Amino acid sequence: MTPQMPVEGQEVQHAASRFDAQPGLATPEDFRRAAYADQYELLRTDVFDTEERERIERRIARFSSMARRLEWMAAQRGRAGA
């Protein structure tokens, strides 16, 4: 999957603030959307600052990892109930 382009005139919003404020509400799809938004930002802004680029890449990796972890935890709960 690739990051989706925002609608004309729509500003790209960072979902990270919602996770910071209320981490219990996040789903795997929320984390994927945040990772896609950051990927889009990385492609759109053409970041040349190495530190900024690495920061964004770490966020993408963290969001992707969290989505996989939440899916794994949900699968484990399903096995425990079976």
Alpha-helical regions (H) of 1-82? 16-21, 28-45, 50-81
Paired tokens of 20: 């910071």
Q: Is 21 part of any domain?
A: no
Q: What is the pLDDT of residue 1?
A: 46
Tally of structural domains, the chain: 1
Q: What is the pLDDT of residues 2-51, one digit of tens each?
A: 445 555 555 545 545 455 555 566 788 888 998 998 888 888 777 677 88
Q: Is 44 part of any domain?
A: yes
* CA end-to-end distance (rounded Å), the chain: 32
Q: What is the pLDDT of residues 41-72, one digit of tens each?
A: 888 777 677 888 888 889 999 999 999 998 88
Q: Is 73 part of any domain?
A: yes
Neighbours of 35 (CB within 10 A): 22
Q: Give the residue numbers spanning the domain of 72.
A: 27-81
Q: Is 10 part of any domain?
A: no
Q: Is 3 part of any domain?
A: no
Report pTM.
Answer: 0.57
Q: Is 11 part of any domain?
A: no
Q: Is 66 part of any domain?
A: yes
